[in-house]
Amino acid sequence: MYTLGLDFGTLSGRAVLVDTRDGAEVAESVFDYPHGVMDMQLPSGVKLPPDWALQHPQDYIDVFARTVPAVLRESGAAASDVVGIGIDFTASSPMPTTVDGTPLCFLEEMRDEPHAYIKLWKHHAAQRQADQINETARQMGESWLPRYGGKISSEWFFSKLLQILQERPDIYAQIDRFVEAADWVIWQLTGVETRNTCTAGYKAMVQDGDFPSRDYFRALDPAFEHVVDEKVGREFAELGSKAGELTPQMADLMGLPAGIAIAVANVDAHVTAPAVKATDPGVMVMVMGTSCCHILSSTQLGEVDGMCGVVMGGVIPGLYGYEAGQSAVGDIFAWFVDHSVPPEYHRAAERAGLGLHEYLEREAAKQRVGQHGLLALDWWNGNRSTLVDVDLTGLMLGMNLATRAPDIYRALIEATAYGTREIIDAFDAQGVAVNELVAAGGLPEKNALLCQIFADVTGRPFKLSGSAQAPALGAAMHAAVAAEIYPDIQAAAAKMGKLKAGVVTPISGNQVVYDKLFQEYKTLYDAFGRGANDVMKRLKAIKHEALD
């Protein structure tokens, strides 16, 4: 028997067909979103303001239509042998819909309205609303705020919905349901609306089974008082449970039998933990791709600076699940390669038969630690943890006329490793144990230098995922639980989870130098991130004034 795991990423969706006996990945298919990330304009040409990031929900339906038939063809598996589907998603990526789940952007009269589309996780234009959410919570002494490290991000659910209310109350009035894209695709598969506990807990301020009070929402805006009951709902579905069964319409679209089990939705980073057998307390999973999420389960409840949330059962049932993260990792490397590498390196990479990333990695790996004389702050997309401030920007210190592209490339990798060490140190400082590290995602698969630098900077050995598609594998494992092949996700992880045999171990000599460099990073981190010098924010304000 097989289950399907579908991983909805930032730029594409991927389906993986998995054998439930041992987690073998039988076939996979990727579909790039035709609309991609809309951060400049809508499909109609309507221009978007700075810091917007939208997506089109039709792209998600197309993922089902294109990838599922493809994996069935490639594998030769009988459709009747597929017993369940699980999905994972970026978060928070919510959208406004009508009462039956029709996205507002599907309505003819709404196609030119930016607020009618999905606000992708990295939509940062709701920072003013996030600031208001945080300040109001502090003034009212809201007990839930410390469970989010003391700050809600502009990336989160209610920041984005409050932005709609305050900027376009006419569109807000037409919203019947404001729903995470993860839950929306499950709604399309089953015909039944469900809200998963993971996204609700980490992205929508649900703690101990409920939202903040109506009094709190009214304090934000009188029209927001009944937002939960009018636009969201108070029922949550547990991870690994069955959301419903595949509808005949969607079964026809994918070439599957109707009625198979559909698992409750999950978040991409969180679903990765069981895929790499991280079901015990103290194991931190670093899910490294365009961004980096740090997922940790623990027996204890703590308040860690800048964490994105802690939720009972948010990752593994019966354990507190913590999330922290960096808003950009792979995106930083991609920015540099796409915009800042001189032509001579493109030609050299072509002569070597390598991609530009691979060539720069090879050249950077020839250096000794500290040889380039550079130090960077990894804030190209703001800082998620531990500062929770999207208005921070990137910084590179130490450049001179001899600085070369491989130097910068290596310094950017090192900066992201320093950011991860800062997060680990924050957990340690609060007594929330980080006993073991596991790396998953596309970056560890492709970049051996990055893996070694992360080990050297953190001073910790770590294991690597045995699957290049760990989120999709984790989603397929949850589908196996929903289909009652396994009694719980721990049992599924024992049989279907994968780790590589080797361990990435710190090099002691490198570690000594990186300890010194990390202290310099901390000095810059505090100076530019904790208010001593707000030049980054002033520059951003001047930029926005110039664009108005």
Backbone torsion region of residue 183, taken as left when φ is above 0, otherwise alpha when ψ lies between -120 and 50, otherwise beta:
alpha
Residue 544 pLDDT > 90, yes or no?
no
Instruction: Give the CA diameter of the chain.
Output: 65
Evaluate if residue 267 carries a pLDDT over 90: yes
Alpha-carbon distance of 224 to 214, in angstroms, equals: 8
Mean pLDDT to the nearest integer, 379-406: 96
Kindly indicate the confidence band of residue 325, based on its pLDDT and cuts at 50, 70 and 90. Answer: very high
Residue 58 has pLDDT above 90, yes or no: yes
Is the pLDDT confidence value at 548 over 80?
no
Position 547 scores a pLDDT of 84
Cis? peptide before 386, omega within 30° of 0 = yes
194 touches 265 (CB < 8 A)? yes
How much is the average pLDDT of 4-20? 97
pLDDT of residue 516: 98
d(CA 126, CA 258): 40
Q: What are phi and psi of 54, to 5 degrees?
A: -120, 160
In contact, 321 and 299? CB cutoff 8 Å? no
Give the tokens for residue 415.
């900066």
Q: What is the mean pLDDT of the chain?
A: 96
Q: Are the C-beta atoms of 240 and 482 separated by less than 8 Å?
A: yes
What's the pLDDT score for residue 430?
A: 94
Question: Residue 301's closest CA among 287, 318, 284?
Answer: 318
For residues 348-360, average pLDDT = 98
The pair phi, psi for residue 422, each rounded to 5°, is -60, -40
pTM tops 0.85 = yes
Using pLDDT thresholds of 50, 70 and 90, give the confidence band for residue 470.
Answer: very high
Q: What is the pLDDT of residue 71?
A: 98
Rg of the Cα trace of the chain? 23
Count helices and strands in the chain by DSSP H and E runs: 20, 20
Domains of the chain (ranges; CATH) run 2-266 (3.30.420.40), 278-465+507-548 (3.30.420.40)
Whether residue 517 has pLDDT greater than 80:
yes
Predicted confidence band of residue 462 (pLDDT cuts 50, 70, 90):
very high
Find the mean pLDDT for residues 431-460: 96
DSSP H/E element including 416: helix 405-429
What is the predicted pLDDT for the residue at 99?
A: 98
